[in-house]
């Protein structure tokens, strides 16, 4: 009885008593949700266009951020470094398409998944070889990212908003908006959607699959760079950052592998659910529930909708 009270009543009473804390938790959840969504977006882009479940997205985030910071530390001006980092991601996309995707075309999904594992290992080794394994500081000042906090009086308490978090949310939203426009309005975007629908049909109307793959991997690389800057600004640039890529997976299955709005909504649900769960229910079981709560939330959603919230309906035929 006592346990039931603690699980079902007490947290809600606490929420009602201290609405400012609730708002604070919600805000933090939303911000991390947006950032999860940003990583999940990279996965979705590649999965949509090539059917590859790109495990290397996490290390691409780290690699992009490391390239940026590494170049800056070598004395390259910040904006030149940013452009160079984008170019590096372009080169990476071309190399991946040439060396990994092209020879493996038409292989089962799991083999391609495995190949991105190989890519992950390679990039870990390569990144550490060039930039060293030590954690680095993200160059927030040089990139004109705001710092500091704003405190607002709200509902009888103070709610703190980190400027960096606000910037992250804004930039992520702009990024997502740009991608949406790119996908629906441009020629290449339409070609991408055609490839996502059917490789064969796309080939038959003259769309080059190889070109499209380079473009999506490049787009995913840019998304990785943005995600890397944002995460890096919050928690430093190091190889442990690739763990957050695993956090993007529940976001991904929650929203469905093929849906960009799904990635965003999924990210917000996971981000908010995780923070609320950790803050209000975590202490009941000794804390640290953040490591698995996201997966359990996703699992519960999946039991009702096996294709995710916005995924294409799975039709099976014999």
Partner 1 sequence: MLYREAGQFKTNYVADSAIFPLRQDRIGIGLIIIAAYALAFLGNSFLLQAVMIPFLVFSLASIGLNILTGYTGLLSLGTGAFMGVGAYACYKLMTAFPGVNVIVWIFVSGFFSAAIGALFGLPSLRIKGFYLAVATLAAQFFLQWCFIRIPWLVNYNVSGALDAPLRTLFGTPIMGPNATPQTRYLVVLTIVILLTWLASNLVHGRIGRMWIAIRDMDLAAELMGIRPLQTKLLAFAVSSYYCGVAGALLVFLWYGGAEYDVFNINQSFFILFMVIIGGLGSLIGSFFGAALIFILPIVLGIVLPAMLSPFGISVGADVIEHLRFMIVGALIIFFLIVEPHGLARLWQIGKQKLLVWPFPY
Contact residues for partner 1 (CB under 8 A)?
53, 99-100, 103-104, 107-111, 113-115, 117-126, 128-129, 133, 246, 249-250, 252-253, 257, 285-286, 288-289, 291-292, 295-296, 298-299, 302-303, 306-308, 314, 316-318
Residue 24 or 258 having the CB closest to partner 1 = 258
Shortest distance in whole angstroms from residue 286 CB to partner 1: 5
- Nearest in space to 162 (alpha carbons), one of 149, 173, 151: 149
Residue 84 or 302 having the CB closest to partner 1 = 302
SS3 state at 308:
coil
Shortest distance in whole angstroms from residue 157 CB to partner 1: 31
Shortest distance in whole angstroms from residue 54 CB to partner 1: 11
3-state secondary structure 75-102: CCCHHHHHHHHHHHHHHHHHHHHHHHHC
- Nearest in space to 44 (alpha carbons), one of 32, 35, 54: 54
Ordered DSSP codes for 237-262: B-GGGGHHHHHHHHHHHHH-TT-HHH
Q: How far apart are the first and last CA of the chain?
A: 51
Shortest distance in whole angstroms from residue 8 CB to partner 1: 21
Neighbours of 66 (CB within 10 A): 26
Shortest distance in whole angstroms from residue 250 CB to partner 1: 6
Residue 77 or 132 having the CB closest to partner 1 = 132
Decide: 232 and 240 in contact? Cβ < 8 Å. no
Residue 134 or 204 having the CB closest to partner 1 = 134
Residue 161 or 281 having the CB closest to partner 1 = 281
Shortest distance in whole angstroms from residue 124 CB to partner 1: 5
Could you tell me the two tokens for 298? Answer: 């996703």
Residue 165 or 267 having the CB closest to partner 1 = 267
């Amino acid at each position: 009885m006592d346990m039931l009270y603690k699980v079902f009543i007490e947290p809600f009473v606490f929420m009602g008593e201290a609405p400012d804390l609730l708002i604070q938790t919600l805000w933090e959840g939303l911000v991390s949700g947006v950032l999860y969504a940003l990583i999940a977006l990279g996965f979705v882009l590649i999965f949509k266009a090539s059917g590859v479940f790109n495990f290397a997205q996490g290390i691409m985030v780290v690699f992009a951020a490391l390239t940026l910071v590494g170049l800056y530390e070598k004395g390259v001006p910040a904006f030149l470094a940013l452009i160079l980092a984008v170019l590096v991601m372009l080169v990476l996309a071309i190399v991946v398409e040439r060396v990994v995707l092209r020879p493996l075309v038409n292989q089962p999904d799991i083999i391609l998944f495995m190949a991105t594992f190989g890519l992950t290992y390679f990039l870990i080794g390569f990144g550490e070889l060039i930039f060293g394994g030590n954690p680095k500081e993200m160059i927030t000042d040089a990139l004109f990212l705001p710092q500091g906090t704003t405190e607002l009086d709200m509902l009888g308490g103070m709610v703190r908003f980190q400027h960096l978090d606000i910037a992250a949310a804004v930039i992520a939203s702009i990024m997502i908006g740009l991608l949406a426009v790119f996908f629906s309005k441009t020629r290449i975007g339409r070609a991408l959607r055609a490839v996502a629908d059917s490789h064969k049909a796309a080939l038959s109307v003259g769309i080059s699959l190889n070109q499209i793959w380079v473009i999506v991997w490049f787009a995913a690389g840019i998304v990785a760079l943005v995600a890397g800057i944002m995460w890096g600004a919050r928690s430093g640039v190091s190889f442990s950052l690739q763990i957050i890529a695993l956090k993007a997976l529940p976001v991904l299955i929650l929203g469905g592998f093929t849906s960009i709005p799904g990635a965003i909504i999924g990210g917000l649900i996971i981000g908010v659910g995780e923070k609320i769960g950790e803050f209000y229910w975590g202490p009941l079981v000794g804390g640290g529930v953040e490591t698995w709560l996201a997966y359990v939330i996703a699992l519960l959603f999946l039991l009702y909708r096996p294709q995710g919230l916005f995924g294409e309906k799975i039709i099976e035929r014999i």
